[in-house]
Every structure is written in structure tokens, then in C-alpha cells.
Amino acid sequence: MLFRNATLADGRRRDVRVSGETIAAVGEDLGGREDERTVDATGKRLLPGMIDAHVHFREPGDSHKEDWTTGSTSAAAGGVTTVVDQPNTSPPTVDGAAFDEKATLAADSLVDFGLNGGVTADWDPDSLLDRDVFALGEVFLADSTGNMGIEEPLFLDALAEADARDVTVTVHAEDASLFNVSAQERDDADAWSAYRTARAEAAAVARACDVAAERDTTIHVAHTSTPRGIDIAAESGMTCEVTPHHMYLSRNDLRELDTHGRMNPPLRREKRRQRVYDRVVDGTVDMIATDHAPHTAAEKDAEIWDAPSGVPGVETALPLLLADARTGDLTYERIRDLTAANPADVFDLPNKGAVAEGMDADLVLVDPGKTHPIRADRLHTKCDWTPFEGREAVFPQLTLVRGSVVYERDPDDRPGGESETLGDAVGRNVRTAAENAGDGRERDADRLTRGEETESIADLAAEVVEERPDDDRR
């Protein structure tokens, strides 16, 4: 396949040739071949596929909410070419047998995947870490879906086990001792945000970072929802992610979302949301990850203390970010880094995250001039609602995973329209693939030899700003 005159994230116009599973050439006026498909990409952006380091595809155990086919289809339609599934399924992915069960199910994936291992009191690190685990975590420092919250001694054990095997640890950081129990007397949707305070996140991030630093290791902080939590992670030399719902939604939106807006960590005040967004823009945040956590609308339509936590987002994340590039709030280069280059660096995926010769042909073609409103009935997840209903977004026209077309629609058709076609289940475990291809831990050197520019997050980090304690109420 040959993309003609595509505009890359940095604004260069190039032809890009795909041969087999890799990008064979990036250049000007590449000669066409009789046996290859040519795509006119004039006026369109060709980007590396998004690496979503945080999804919950619910299989095994809750396939009525999502399964690997629907979840990966949703990912492909949203320009996500690699997903990382979290361990809080049923059974939880805490030993070798559970990992093997999930790996069998993941064979139905249209996109590449990683499978995280979980940490609980009865986990079996020997059998678990004998598998091709992507990372350990998210390690829950407070309860969430799946009841996998742990105490600090077990967290220390997990750090030691992971460090011995050169495995990254990702952390869900909330300190339950700082939850506001008085909020439990309320029954409005905002009570959940009042209960799981911003202080609880900041304190847990600080403690987790301190523990990691004391042991001369690093952690990745999942779904940071407060500016203070982000600053602490950056200041400590750790990495962090932010979700689209914490970028775009605040407690003000709970009037409309009601209990559908319950999530962990919860939505924050509007001022905090804006400061989180600012840190996404200025480089303090390392990556965007969706925490795609589908529940049906019927399940979410419950009292605030009974509704499950989580919202869908794997199909709408990149389209929402691309809409912000249209307005100038984000640059395409920053979007590339947040969604592809940085996740590939942080999680050591040496063949992913860039449009460059020799890399996996994980590619997304979009027309930045065309937006479409997000509609739940046009999305591909089993989850029958979205917190972003009606928002304008830029959806992919074509998504490739290692050279295979997994999603395509006519440029003149809307997302979810009749012209859509889906590819085969070509997804594979990225850790297994890396082992088969050789260790490949010289990513930075490889990128420099290709002439690709790299951006230092530390150079862009914003000055740490102390946040006021969260209010009990709005």
C-alpha cells in the first residue's frame, strides 16, 4: 500500500509505503508499483496508531459489557492499534492459568494487545510473570471494580517482583483513609466526587512515588485526575497518564450525566479539569489512556452508591484530541506524542509509535477538515452509551495494524455508516512478538538513527503548583 502526499504529524508531506507488516519507506515522490494499492492522502493526516495503555475489555467474566471482538473493533474504529487490558476481570489475571485464559480470548482482537498482571493477596507471581505480561497493574491502592485494593506491604512485594524481572508497575493511586465519609450521607451524583477527594489522589501518588524512589525504581501512575497528582509524578521522575474524561468533563457535567458519570478516580471541579488539560498541553503529562471501562446503561442507571464505576472511551479518545488540533488547543505533534510515541517509549515497544521506515505499519488516516458528532448508536462497543454524546470529533477513515486494514469507511460517509468495513482478527500480544523479534531495548538509538525527533518531558514540565484541598461540595 502506498499513501500519496500524506501530511505527517510534524507537517511534512510525504509518501509512505507499507510492505507486509512494516513501513518500507517514507519519502517524496516514491515510485508506484503495479501490485500495490495507492491511497490519495492529499489534505489528510497520516498518524501512528494510538497505543491505549489502559482498557478494560471485561473478558473473561463480563462479556455482556464488552468482549475482545467488540472492544477491539471499537478501538480500530477510533484509531487505536494497540490496547493494554487490565487485570480486574473474573477471574482476575493474577496467576499463569488466568493469564492463559485471557490470552486465548484475546486472540479475537483486531488490534495488537498487551495483558497486564494483577496483584492481590493470593496472586502467584512465579507463574504469572513466567508469561508474556505487559506490565503489573493497575495495582489498586484503593478499591475499584473487582475489589483488588491492596495494602502497602503487598505493593512493596509487587515492586520487588517486577524489578527483578524488569517489568513496569502501573498504579491506581487513591488513599482511602482520606475519603470524605460525610459525603456518604448524600444521594446526588456529585456525592461520589465529594467522597473520593482530590487530596486522596495526591497523597497516594506522593506515597507511591516515594516508595518507588526509595527502591531506585520507577512506576507509572494511571489516570491521574488532579493537577497536584500530575505534578508530583513528574517531579518524582515517574510517568503518568490522563484520561479523556478527566480532560473534558468536570463535576459540572454530572447534572447531565448523573450516575453515568461515576468513575474512579472521580470527576473534579472545573478549575481542576482546566489545570489538568493545561498539563496535557504543556508536556507535563506523558500520555493519554482511556481507562475504557464499559458498563451497560441499565447498570449505570442506579443510585450513586450502587452504580458501577467507569465510562467507555476507546473509540472516542483520538477523535476528541484531533478535534482540539483543529482549534489549535493541541498540536498534531503533541497528539502523536501523547497517544503513540510516549506510550511506546514508556512501555518499551520499540517497533511502534512512529511513522518511520522499519516501524510497524500501525497507521491512521484522518481528514482534519471533517468532523462528526459522537453518537452512541454509531459506536462499536457493547456499551450502549457515551459520556461524550454530541461532541464534535475527527474520526479515522482508515486504520492499519501492522499493514492489515482493520477499519475503513468511505470518506464521504459518517462513522458507523454503511460503507464501513472491518478486517480480520490480526491482533497479537506485543510482548510475545517482541520476544520473537529479539529483545529490542535500544529504542532511543534506533529512533536517532532514523532521524526522528524526540521530546524531553522533563524539559517541558510545568512549575509545580500547590492545589487547594477539594471542597466537600461543589
Q: Which residues are catalytic?
A: 291
**Dihedral (Cα; 444, 132, 129, 341), 10-degree rounding:** 30
Q: How many secondary structure helices (H) and strands (E) does the chain include? A: 17, 19
Cβ–Cβ < 8 Å for 190, 470: no
Which alpha helices (H) appear in 251-315, and where do they start and end? 254-257, 270-282, 297-300
What is the radius of gyration, based on Cα positions, of the chain? 21
Give the cell for residue 102.
485471557
Within 13 Å and on the Cβ side, how many CA atoms surround 209? 22
Residue 60 Cα distances to 51, 91, 104, 137, angstroms: 22, 7, 10, 17
What gap in Å lies between CA 89 and CA 340, rounded to an integer? 26
Between CA 51 and CA 82 the distance in angstroms is 5
Cross-strand pairs, 221: 171, 240
28 pairs with which residues across the strands?
A: none
Q: Which residue has the cell 495526591?
A: 202
Distance CA 234, CA 38 (A): 43
Secondary structure of 28-93 as H, E, C letters: CCCCCCCCCCEEECCCCEEEECEEEEEECCCCCCCCCCCCHHHHHHHHHHCCEEEEEECCCCCCCC
> For residues 465 and 474, what is the distance between their CA atoms, to the nearest angstrom?
21
Cell of 247: 480532560
Nearest Cα residue to 82 out of 110, 43, 104: 110
Give the C-alpha separation, 365 to 400, whole Å.
9
